[in-house]
Chains A and B, each alone.
Chain A
Amino acid sequence: MRALAWHGKHDVRVDTVDDPEIINPRDAIIKITATAICGSDLHLYDGYIPTMKAGDILGHEFMGEVVEVGAKSTLQRGQKVVVPFTIACGSCYHCGKHQYSACDNGNPADNQDIGRELYGQPMSGLFGYSHMTGGYAGGQAEYVRVPFSDVGPIVVPSDIEDEKVLFLSDILPTGWMAAENAQIEPGDTVAVWGCGPVGLFAVQSAFLLGAARVIAIDHFPHRLELAKKFGAETINFEESKTYEALMEMTGGIGPDAVIDAVGLEAHGFFVDNVIDQIKASMFLGTDRIHSIRQAILACRKGGRVSMPAVYGGFVDKFPLGAFMEKGLTLKTGQTHVQHYMPALLNAIVEGKIDTTFLISHTLPLEDAPKGYKMFHDNQNEVTKVVLKPDLALAAE
């Protein structure tokens, strides 16, 4: 089959590799019909994620058709499914509590050591995202092997467009969980830092969960426009002072809940920062911690902080004093995708949530390297790149 493989910094190629096969009884093989490039894939592209090996197949946002099933899979050939990026067993204590991204068993035993050292306990496996999260081949390919296929993939109506449901795999549940973690009360004002895909979905979700006002903060004009379309008020932090604006806009109280969705595109585990103690790298440096620091300072007293943005290591200058003195609550974590998929699928089918607006480019899988480059180079206009293995190459 053809698959997008990582070969090093800014070097991804579409290679011909062996087709995946059923290995364990609960496996299924999915023929990919659509897959997206996630912002976090750019960190692999930029060479910031350790434990990558040349030839690793990328991609953790994907969907397709079931073409083969193991003896204990509950899927049937021909079904159309969307696959969560988190690989969870459904049988362990954490899965029983619907904390799927904390699954004990989704990550192969030998690959759990790093998570244990770094975080105290290892987290679940992930598709196409380095060897410390399992070393699983991803879905930017013609086919993918999906472990625990009786738990993860959700069957979607066969006549629904891929574009409408593809983002159930990651960013839509991630945006929803961000809003849920903000514990929104009717009439609340919610501020969202970052209008990438997850931030934009968090804006939509916050309104659905009862927020009266949502204030979106970014510096890309196009992304702020998208937030505005969903009813958010906007702050462009290159043009306005964010804290001062928030205070003015909330009657001097501060937002009831704040969501840090900056860098949320990174499901990344920035181990390099931990191991090398490179505190000032662009990903863990001032800008990234800046958003959570600003969010904590702006948040009203007794308010709630939701942090879908990924932080992998240690941060300096975390305003612990403000956090304590103001009596804030912080909720965060990798998304428990499996928990959110069914309700969000319903919301999509019922027309309550639209995700198609996000897609700015659709390319054949063969053009994936071009997709990575354009997404990397132009984040204002390129909001989301979808890859389709069946799409013919455009005439040059």
Chain B
Amino acid sequence: MAADIDTVSARHDDAPVTTSKITHPDRALVAETVTINRPAQELYAFWRDPTNLLMVMDNIQAIAVIDDSRSRWTVKAPAGREVSWESVITKDVPGEEITWQSAPGADVANSGRITFQDAGGRGTVVRAVIAYDPPGGVIGQFIAKLFQREPRIQTRRDLRRFKQLMETGEIATAARTMQQFEEEEA
């Protein structure tokens, strides 16, 4: 059973479940929310094409589209190795939501959902929720480290880059020369 983003815990308030103080030992759940000053449809359309995500996601080496709902994600591993998994879109509501899940056999079973909610004059509230099962094995340990190093910070940074690109047309960099810029990107 792959990790489930719809983890339910007993709650008595209106706070998002991802902010619960009760942690689940077998499951990591990360959520980040950002408001982007662009229409929901435009943000959805960007996210719906997985190849776009390479621009904003730091950890990902390659994203290959297999068909309309499936794509293969590759992450660089130590000693020249690569780790990859297949991601399948399981729910797609144009302009509102994309939910995905890793196909069976993934090194890190994971699932995620991104929602786009109209926020009137402020643009769109974008919320990403990602769940994954802590994996086993050597590669699993590496992946776990990659995901767990600061999964929330990584997600937050990716969403910030997404916001920058959508709002300003570019991703902010402090590089002074192209050489510095390319070194940062590498």
Q: Which A residues fall within an 8 A CB radius of B?
A: 17-21, 23-26, 57, 72, 87, 89-93, 96, 104-113, 116, 125, 131, 134-137, 145, 147-148
B176, A21: Cβ atoms under 8 Å?
yes
> How far does the Cβ of B64 sit from chain A's closest Cβ, in whole Å?
25
A-B contact pairs, 27 of them (CB 8 A): A18-B176, A18-B177, A20-B177, A21-B178, A23-B173, A23-B178, A57-B176, A87-B172, A89-B167, A92-B37, A92-B163, A92-B167, A92-B168, A93-B37, A93-B123, A104-B163, A109-B158, A109-B160, A109-B172, A113-B157, A125-B174, A131-B174, A134-B174, A135-B174, A137-B176, A145-B176, A148-B168
A105, B179: Cβ atoms under 8 Å?
no
B167, A105: Cβ atoms under 8 Å?
yes
Q: What CA separation (Å) do A137 and B173 show in the bound complex? A: 11
In the complex, whether B35 has a CB less than 8 A from a CB of chain A is yes
A106's contact among B156, B169, B172, by CB below 8 Å, is which? B172
In the complex, whether B175 has a CB less than 8 A from a CB of chain A is yes
> How far does the Cβ of B174 sit from chain A's closest Cβ, in whole Å?
4
CB contact under 8 A between A19 and B177, given known A91-B37, A105-B163: yes
Q: What CA separation (Å) do A26 and B157 show in the bound complex? A: 21
Residues of B within 8 A of A112 (CB): 157, 160
Q: What CA separation (Å) do A332 and B10 show in the bound complex? A: 42
In the complex, whether B45 has a CB less than 8 A from a CB of chain A is no
Q: What CA separation (Å) do A287 and B177 show in the bound complex? A: 42
Residues of B within 8 A of A105 (CB): 163-164, 167-168, 172
In the complex, whether B153 has a CB less than 8 A from a CB of chain A is yes
Residues of B within 8 A of A137 (CB): 174, 176
In the complex, whether B54 has a CB less than 8 A from a CB of chain A is no
B35's contact among A57, A87, A93, A113, by CB below 8 Å, is which? A93
Residues of A within 8 A of B37 (CB): 91-93, 96
Residues of A within 8 A of B173 (CB): 23-24, 108, 147
Residues of B within 8 A of A110 (CB): 157
A108's contact among B174, B177, B179, by CB below 8 Å, is which? B174
Q: What CA separation (Å) do A26 and B167 show in the bound complex? A: 13
B122, A93: Cβ atoms under 8 Å?
yes
With most chain A CB atoms within 10 A of its CB, the pick from B169, B173, B176 is B176
Residues of A within 8 A of B181 (CB): 23
Residues of B within 8 A of A145 (CB): 176
Residues of A within 8 A of B167 (CB): 89, 91-92, 104-105
In the complex, whether B77 has a CB less than 8 A from a CB of chain A is no
Q: What CA separation (Å) do A131 and B123 show in the bound complex? A: 29
Q: What CA separation (Å) do A106 and B177 show in the bound complex? A: 18
Q: What CA separation (Å) do A113 and B179 show in the bound complex? A: 25
> How far does the Cβ of A91 sit from chain B's closest Cβ, in whole Å?
4
A107, B177: Cβ atoms under 8 Å?
no
In the complex, whether B146 has a CB less than 8 A from a CB of chain A is no
CB contact under 8 A between A26 and B160, given known A18-B176, A137-B176: no
Q: What CA separation (Å) do A23 and B184 show in the bound complex? A: 12
In the complex, whether B60 has a CB less than 8 A from a CB of chain A is no
* Given A89-B167, A91-B168, 15 new contacts (CB under 8 A): A17-B176, A23-B177, A23-B178, A25-B170, A92-B37, A92-B167, A92-B168, A93-B35, A93-B37, A93-B122, A108-B171, A108-B172, A109-B161, A109-B164, A113-B156
